[in-house]
Amino acid sequence: MAHPGVSDAGAPTMRDVAARAGVSAMTVSRVLKDDSRVSGTTRERVLTAVDELGYRRNETARSLRLGGSGMIGLVVTNLANPFYSRLALGVQEVASEHGLRMLLSNTAEQVDRERGLVADLASRQVDGMIVVPAGNSHRHLGPAALRGMPIVLAARPPAGMDADCVLVDDFGGAEQATGQLIADGHSAIGFLGNPPALYTGAERFRGYWAAHEAAGLTPDERHVRRGLVDVGTAERAAVELLSGPAAPTALFCTNNRMTQGAIRAVRTVGRPVALAGFDDFELADVIGLPLTIVSYDADEIGRRAGQMLIDRINAAPGEPLPARRTVVPTRVIRYGPR
């Protein structure tokens, strides 16, 4: 049975202790690592709350008492993309529950910059890192490079190393959305995709192709555009596709930037085109175009990655956890006229 004052049916968190004691989670953290700046009265109140709730003092607080920084790092590829903002909020939610602060860095999809940021976070002795890798070589994220620092990858799986990771069902979502366009009567479906070297780009293209095969169709290679990086490149590619005599009647887009570029192209060309794409975005429901969106909970990706990292930080020495992989499901949403 859960203790009174515990936020849910699971184990009590540092936030629960803070609420019971009437202090901040950071104060709880300071008490548990014997920080001399906390008054005796406050210390006693926190320790009483720990005992009453049955909080496991040997979890994250243990690493703090042993000299940890009380911080975790999060490295993403593009903060301008709302997906990464939501992911960061999910990580921060879990970090706060455990009295940890989060340092956020942006690589702009540059591997060299990622290496520098990861090295900088390691030099600051963060307790662990969550990284959305920019490239396909992850050697600088391995145990040897980071001296065993806990690490979790998000949105893209590890390459050449074992590590925990949280992924989206990229293949399944793309297959389902493309299949919906086919079910709506479209057989000429264009593809606007991010670089094929990216895991998400490759998996979503694979899903697009698989949906055609399942329907007994073969995509027209002339309708495929890959290697697009932003709204502008997607718009130009879509205008080119839609301006030809054998233009596709629908487009599948691999992320919200591709979809937004396609929307602008449809307005420019002025012909009816059905759109499908990964990632929901604000105002998608009021655009007035036939729009099929692959939606998922980006915050949940961050929460799962955060909890995986906490598990790693709390793992007992000599009892290593096997590498874990979890996949966040997707669902298809329909907007606009049919």
Same domain, 289 and 179: yes
Question: b/e for 126-140, b at 16 or more Cβ within 10 A?
Answer: bbbbbbbbbbeebeb
Write out the two tokens for 325. 């992989």
- Secondary structure of residue 335 in the 3-state scheme: strand
pTM for this structure? 0.77
| Structural tokens at position 55 | 């909080």
Supply the CATH number for residue 140's domain: 3.40.50.2300
Residues 157 and 302 in one domain: yes
Which residues have CB under 8 Å from 173's CB, separation 6+? 204, 207, 278, 294, 296, 330, 332
Alpha-carbon gap, residue 262 to 260, rounded angstroms: 5
pLDDT mean values, one per 10 residues, the chain (338 residues):
51 79 80 78 88 66 53 93 93 92 94 94 91 90 86 93 95 98 97 92 97 97 95 97 92 96 95 93 84 96 96 77 94 87
Structural domain total, the chain: 3
Q: Is residue 121 part of a domain?
A: yes
**Residue pLDDT, tens place only, 4-19:** 555 544 567 777 888 8
Residue 4 lies in a domain: no
For residue 4, what pLDDT is reported?
56
In a domain, 62, yes or no: no
Over residues 133-159, the pLDDT tens digits come to 998 889 899 888 888 889 999 999 998
Q: Under 8 Å CB-to-CB from 242, ≥6 apart: which residues?
A: 190, 248, 265, 266, 269, 271, 273
**277 and 178 together in one domain:** yes
Domain membership of residue 49 as a residue range: 14-57
89: buried, middle or exposed (CB in 10 Å: 19+, 13-18, 0-12)? middle
The tens digit of pLDDT for each residue in 96-140 reads 988 899 999 999 989 999 999 999 998 888 999 999 999 888 989
pLDDT of residue 3: 54
**How is residue 316 written in tokens?**
């007992």
Q: From CA 45, how far away is CA 52, in angstroms rounded?
A: 11
Q: Centre a 10 Å sphere on the Cβ of residue 68 and count the other Cβ atoms it contains.
A: 20
Beta bridge pairs of residue 327: 167
